[in-house]
Amino acid sequence: MKATELTLTTAVESLPGVDAAAAAGLRRMGLRCVADLLLHAPSRYRRTRPWQQLEQVAAEAATDTRDEMVVRGEVVSIDRGFGRSSKVVVVIEDESGEMDLVFFNQPWIRRKLHPGMRLTATGQARVYRKRAQIANPTWSLLEPSAPLVPPTSSEGPAVLTPVYPASDAVSSDALADIIERILPDATALLEDHLTDAYRTDRNLPSLRVAYQHLHRPEFEEQMLAARRRLALDELLMLQLGVMMKRYHRHTHLQAAPLPRTPEVRQRIAARIPFEPTPAQQRVMDEIGDDLASSVPMNRLLQGDVGSGKTVVAVAAMLQAVAHGKQAALVSPTELLAEQHDRTIRALLRDAPVRIALLTGSASPAQRRDLLDQIAGGEVDLVIGTHAVLTSDVMFRDLAVAVTDEQHRFGVRQRAALRSKAADETRSPHQLVMTATPIPRTLSLTIFGDLDVSVIDEMPPGRSPVETVHVVPSAANGVYEDVAARAHRGERTFIVVPLIDESETGLTDLNSHLERLSTGPLRACRMAAMHGRLDAAERDDVMQGFRCGETDVLLATTVIEVGVDVPEATLMVIEDADRFGLAQLHQLRGRVGRGDMPGRCVLISEPRTDEGRRRLEAMVETTDGFRIAERDFEIRGPGELFGARQSGMPPFRIAALPRDLELLGLARRDAEAWIADDPLLTRPEHGLLRRRLLKAHGTWLGLGDVG
Ligand code: ADP
Ligand code: MG
């Protein structure tokens, strides 16, 4: 193919040097055309120093360099190493000194190499028992007469070789070849969406140069500058998208203003059966002020499990109802929706508020009936699961929408709620509640358009849940405690990871129920709760546990979020190392919600190091923010928490928190641009705007902006 024919959409099949097998392999990696290849960034670079004499390499080996060294030498001796593993030690020398080449699990080396042969070898050098060595080098034989002294002075910068994410079908080296071949022509096709002036100002290479240097840097500085440019690009696009959206919300979207008159305040206060904590009061004020405005609220409420978010939600919803408008409360599970329905009906017992529970369990006829009432305005407050969001649900006048326990932060779901408003420019006020603290790095990025309120104190009289780790062989003592509590009228949750028996050997609900109810918990009244029960069965089981007909509830993680039974004092978690840290913390939050102190017992023989660290974190702290930090440490910064579920495309080059400083820069620049050209409609922003909408338009719901 002639260079002139190459375009960014040229298919990989028609590239020089790519045969059918390689093309198929590329496609399986999602690399379909030239543009995909350009965007396929190296995960790292191998750094190789030019050939140096052995003495110098030995000196380098004593430093902690990770560069690869190239050496040449004559074989002096070949020996089997000591120890159990197969190891061959080849000593080579040149004029300056000697060095060991160590081959693990390659016994055939002893037949290939003989004293007097000359070879060149490449690999990382290190010092082991005072001798310089390269372990498992790549090597090849040289002519017997090959020189062993490098031609000129050996000092020089390392050569960088890209290492690509690869597959069995296409190796990193094969990718490097393919990309190198198209690189000059492909980069020449790139148009920059950042102006020269901006690039000069920020000292950024052009897009062409950046991609050239990303794939084939001559010096480390070039690679770093390329990465900086491309990472800033990603962060800038994201920030521009988020701010465009914010601008749009403030200028184009209208919500019903719901002023907090003294009368409204009084009516809400009358419904709350206890004195709000100062933290609850503060966030109720923040939310109350937002609701009074015609700019749609977009607020995240963070508060640890048990901090009392429900009444805050109720207050917000009542502010809508007081103005004759509707409100909705959306929960992640039916169980939680059902519980909210019960709690809120009790709170609003004597108030003229019409409440409907809408979940996936409603029969088609019931559902149709409810939908009519919601559309007709005969219902003030709709409590439900995400089923509430399906497209056939229309509200007469939805003014406040609350999403509870949203640790998945579906931005799309929030967009769906917005579209429930009567016309495109109307939006309900939105409140998202979560017990999972969001790292600041994240709230700055994808939730940059979200205001945040925090409940940072617990209602009075709570003592932290005492948490212990018990090995399975000591579990009988735990069950004795369960039985003793039942005898005193206290209740226990026992959580297992599975419903049915499986080959994993993990505790399953069915066998465990059988074992406990015929064994250590013979004297207790037990019931089981899991995701396969229908709404009526669930209701029966929960009701029995709540009113004390059941002492022990054996459950799967369906009870993870929100379940509120104040008499439950003990949480036993079987195979606890199998649960995520956030999940364990949520489960623990199910006990100690009343006057009596709670206890959480983690039964487990941890099978992995991570599992063990999760249990340690649980025993060490009950603070949700510390738990979240620990979770971040244990899982590593690999995936930005919650980002995937939001629908945000993953970063290709940027990484947080590593690029936090660039994020700050992106944020400042994006703010200035949007202040100046809010929807990026100026001609010089045309390309930027197109690329921005392509990357972020859908998940951010910028459709009506474009
Ligand atoms: P979460 O934040 O986990 O959703 P809830 O709203 O379910 O917490 O509240 C946990 C428990 O604390 C509930 O039983 C609730 O009635 C009670 N509660 C909430 N706020 C207060 C308060 N200010 N004083 C006393 N009890 C409270
Ligand atoms: Mg809750």
Nearest ligand, CA of residue 310? 1
Q: Which residues does 542 contact at the CB level (< 8 Å), separation at least 6?
A: 335, 338, 339, 529, 563
Whether 504 shows a pLDDT value over 90: the answer reads no
Tell me which H or E stretch contains 22: helix 20-28
Q: What is the pTM of this model?
A: 0.69
pLDDT at 644: 54
CA distance 164 to 190: 22
For 466-621, CATH number out of 1.20.140.10, 3.40.190.10, 3.40.640.10, 3.40.50.300 equals 3.40.50.300
CA distance 696 to 94: 59
- CATH topology classification for 50-157: OB fold (Dihydrolipoamide Acetyltransferase, E2P) (2.40.50)
Nearest ligand, CA of residue 308? 1
Q: Which atom of ligand 1 is nearest to the CA of 310?
A: 6
Would the CB of 274 count as within 6 Å of ligand 1? yes
Average of per-residue pLDDT across 125-154:
88
Among 280, 317, 564, 569, residue to substitute to test ligand 1 (most atoms within 8 Å of Cβ): 564
pLDDT at 534: 86
**What tens digit of pLDDT does each residue of 70-92 get?**
999 999 999 987 766 788 999 99
CA distance 371 to 367: 6
Domain ranges of the chain: 3-45+170-219, 50-157, 262-455, 466-621
**What tens digit of pLDDT does each residue of 379-410 get?**
999 999 876 666 678 899 999 999 987 655 44
Q: Which atom of ligand 1 is nearest to the CA of 312?
A: 6
Within 10 Å of residue 706's Cβ, how many Cβ atoms? Answer: 13
**Side-chain half-sphere exposure of 319, counting CA atoms within 13 A:** 32
Whether 412 shows a pLDDT value over 50: the answer reads no
Whether 446 shows a pLDDT value over 70: the answer reads no
**What tens digit of pLDDT does each residue of 13-37 get?**
999 889 999 999 999 999 999 999 9
* Contact indicator for 334, 358 with CB cutoff of 8 Å: no
Average of per-residue pLDDT across 345-354:
92
CA distance 595 to 587: 18
Nearest ligand, CA of residue 343? 1
* Contact indicator for 619, 469 with CB cutoff of 8 Å: yes
CA distance 61 to 91: 16
- Name the H helices within 192-324: 196-202, 207-215, 220-252, 262-269, 278-291, 309-321
Ligand 1 atom 4: residue of nearest CA: 309
CATH architecture of 262-455: 3-Layer(aba) Sandwich (3.40)
Q: What percent of the chain has pLDDT over 70?
A: 91
Scan for tokens 């978010």, then name that residue.
Answer: 309
Would the CB of 592 count as within 6 Å of ligand 1? no
Q: CB burial class (10 A; 0-12, 13-18, 19+) of residue 98?
A: middle
**Side-chain half-sphere exposure of 532, counting CA atoms within 13 A:** 6
Same fold, 50-157 and 466-621: no
Among 565, 593, 595, 622, residue to substitute to test ligand 1 (most atoms within 8 Å of Cβ): 593
**What tens digit of pLDDT does each residue of 233-259 get?**
999 999 999 889 888 888 888 999 999
**DSSP β-ladder status, 429-434 and 298-303:** parallel
Q: Which atom of ligand 1 is nearest to the CA of 343?
A: 16
CA distance 153 to 155: 6
CA distance 162 to 517: 61
CA distance 465 to 621: 10
612: its two tokens? 């063990």
Within 10 Å of residue 490's Cβ, how many Cβ atoms? Answer: 21
Average of per-residue pLDDT across 525-538:
90
